[in-house]
Amino acid sequence: MFGRILAVNRTDMQILKQYRIEQIPKQLAEKEKRLRADHPNINEDRLKAELKKTETRLFSEARNAQFDTPLLSANDRSRWDTIRALVEPEMRVVRTVKNADGTERNEYVWYAIDKVQNEPGWDTIDMVRHPLPDQPETGYLFSSKPPLLPTVLSVPYAVMFYVSGGKLSLANEQFLFLIVRTMLILCNLLPLVFCWFLLARLIDRFGTTDWGRIFSVAFICFGTFLSTFVVTLNNHLPAVVCVTITFYCAVRIVYDGETRRRYFIFAGLFGAFAVACELPALMFCVFTGLWLFGVQRFRTVCGFLPAALVIAAAFFAANYAAHQTLRPPYSQQDWYMFEYERGGKILNSHWKTPQGADVGEESRVAYIFHSAIGHHGIFSLTPVWILSFTGLGIWLRRREHFFAAGMILLTSMTVFVFYMLMEQPNRNYGGNTAALRWMFWLAPLWSVPLVTAADWCSRGVVRRSSAMILLMISVMSAAYPVWNPWSNPWAVNLLQYVELIIH
């Protein structure tokens, strides 16, 4: 993962750059043909000078265009835009406000990304537009992502920016890759490694065989899409880390009799922050609170609950600071339908005229099929999850694991049904992405009971061989989008290739 972060770059942009350079001789030949047709008696020296001038311009445009970039998609650019708008003074939108005495003053429109998204290479489709209550006639552009996570992620960038006197700026192409890669290491890599450490401890605790433990840890390190997404700023990895910490604390409290208050506080803090990253994680947070309440009522009320309320308050405070309403952008469908200006042109929002995967799957049955076992399938791309649910089935039969297994199963089924019941525009498999990313945050909860099924598989050669085949497919799926997780799964490309052969 560290190596991939150090090499992060949009390879499709590099290919486009090379393609444009390779096309220059063809463009020059076409221009020479036009010049000779329009000016039959043109002087040869003048012709060569004109072609040389054109060649210099084309090479300059190809080499200096915004091709090389560590920003891999409109999804991560949406968060990067908010981070820049919060940290860089020149990227903040300023509005004029009237005072009570009739005078006027200028103030920042915090979180507005109008200026940033107009910069070359910083455009995004994941944004909304709406006016503020005190200026109903003027609309501003904002990221469609809940603002608390970008606010937290802006802290390390703000430190780099202000300590360097503004030299280490995302606006400075010289330091763009350095800053982005540093941020990815701090915000993605290190937390995820810590997450895997905690999961390994849980697997070691619940496992009974070395083979089962090694298999399970190998899977979480190589077989999930968490490592795939480490090269892009996203909400899924922070949610995974938070869910892992919360579940680890709950296991220590419930199974090991841990009574120190900090475990309840951490469970509340990170359980609630998981909700701030993935709103459906609210169910997991509530179930965890009830689980702990059944064991330690006083410490749950005095530790878990206040900590969770602090994060909830921060979530709504950030949302109000950005949008002057407590309702997050996801619940404001009219905010997605707008026109805006970019580069002097008036454009429709992507969601007003969706294209590609964002048109949505017409058939709900097909959507359910492909989300479960089809081209974006949970069990087809990562078949080791079959063993995880087998482990959950074993847990349900054991009294000491019944509540944990029931909580995981009920949460998983509810989240899956929630996304399957969406209307067509939202049935887009998470957009142009390597897997059904909305379910990623459940990976820690599925990984721990996996060791129980892996222990069962360790008892025979056939079982072990079958488990290894499932692991091989899972690792291949996670490694397939090696350069950019915002690309099709191998199953989609395979189906497209087969259809091409048939036709």
Per residue in 169-185, pLDDT tens?
A: 999 988 999 999 999 99
Helix axes 261-277, 305-323, angle to 10 degrees: 30
- DSSP-assigned beta bridge partners for residue 105: 97
Tell which residue, 482, 474, 30, has the closest CA to residue 215.
Answer: 474
Q: Between these two residues, 468 and 123, which has the higher pLDDT value? A: 468
Residues in Cβ contact with 227 at an 8 Å cutoff, skipping those fewer than 6 apart: 1, 192, 221, 478
Give SS3 for 423: coil
125, 74 in Cβ contact below 8 A?
yes
DSSP symbol at 303? I
Lookup: tokens for 410: 């009920």
* Dist. CA 501–CA 118, nearest whole Å: 42
* Dist. CA 4–CA 203, nearest whole Å: 27
Whole-prediction pTM: 0.89
What digits encode the pLDDT tens for the residues 80-135?
Answer: 999 999 999 999 999 888 888 888 888 899 999 999 999 988 999 999 999 987 77
pLDDT at 13 > cutoff 80: no
Q: What percentage of the chain reaches a pLDDT higher than 70?
A: 96
pLDDT at 12 > cutoff 90: no
- DSSP-assigned beta bridge partners for residue 354: none
DSSP symbol at 187? I
Lookup: tokens for 219: 């899977």
- CA neighbours within 13 Å on the CB side: how many for 359? 6
Q: Which residue shows structure tokens 């938070």?
A: 242
Write the DSSP string, 369-424. Answer: HHHHTSTT-HHHH-THHHHHHHHHHHHHTSGGGHHHHHHHHHHHHHHHHHHHTS-G
The enclosing H or E element of 79 equals: helix 74-87
What digits encode the pLDDT tens for the residues 26-59?
Answer: 889 998 888 888 888 888 888 898 899 998 888 8
4, 231 in Cβ contact below 8 A?
yes
pLDDT of residue 503: 46
Tell which residue, 344, 72, 78, has the closest CA to residue 230.
Answer: 72
Lookup: tokens for 355: 């294209």
What digits encode the pLDDT tens for the residues 382-441?
Answer: 999 999 999 999 999 999 999 999 999 999 999 999 999 999 888 999 998 999 999 999
List, in sequence order, the alpha helices (H) in 106-187.
Answer: 114-117, 148-163, 173-184
Residue type, 82: T
C-beta atoms surrounding 32 within 10 Å: 16
Residues in Cβ contact with 473 at an 8 Å cutoff, skipping those fewer than 6 apart: 381, 382, 383
Give SS3 for 9: coil
- CA of residue 21 relative to chain centroid, distance: 33
Tell which residue, 386, 402, 384, 385, has the closest CA to residue 394.
Answer: 402
